[in-house]
Amino acid sequence: MRWVILDRDGVINYDSDAYIKSPEEWKPIPGSLEAIAQLNRSGYKVVVVTNQAGVGRGLFELATLERIHAKMRKLLEEVGGHIEAIYFCPHPPEEGCHCRKPQTGMYEQFAKQFNVDLDGIPAIGDSLKDIQAAQSIGAEAILVETGNGKKTLQRNPELDVPTFVNLHEAVQYILFTQG
CATH tag, 2-178: 3.40.50.1000
Residues 8-64 have pLDDT tens digits of 999 999 999 999 999 999 999 999 999 999 999 999 999 999 999 999 999 999 999
Which of 9, 15, 126, 130 is catalytic? The answer is 9
Of 67, 24, 21, 29, nearest to 148 (Cα)?
A: 29
Burial degree of 157 (CB within 10 A; 0-12, 13-18, 19+): exposed
- Kindly report the number of other CB atoms within 10 A of residue 160's CB atom: 9
Separation CA 28–CA 72 (nearest Å): 8
Residues 94-127 have pLDDT tens digits of 998 999 999 999 999 999 999 999 999 999 999 9
Q: Is the pLDDT at 130 greater than 80, yes or no?
A: yes
The yes-or-no answer on residue 117 being catalytic is no
Separation CA 156–CA 8 (nearest Å): 21
For the chain, give every domain's residue range.
2-178
- pTM of the full structure: 0.97
Separation CA 76–CA 110 (nearest Å): 21
Cβ within 8 Å of residue 98, ≥6 positions away: 104, 105
Which of 7, 15, 126, 130 is catalytic? The answer is 7
Q: Is the pLDDT at 88 greater than 70, yes or no?
A: yes
The yes-or-no answer on residue 160 being catalytic is no
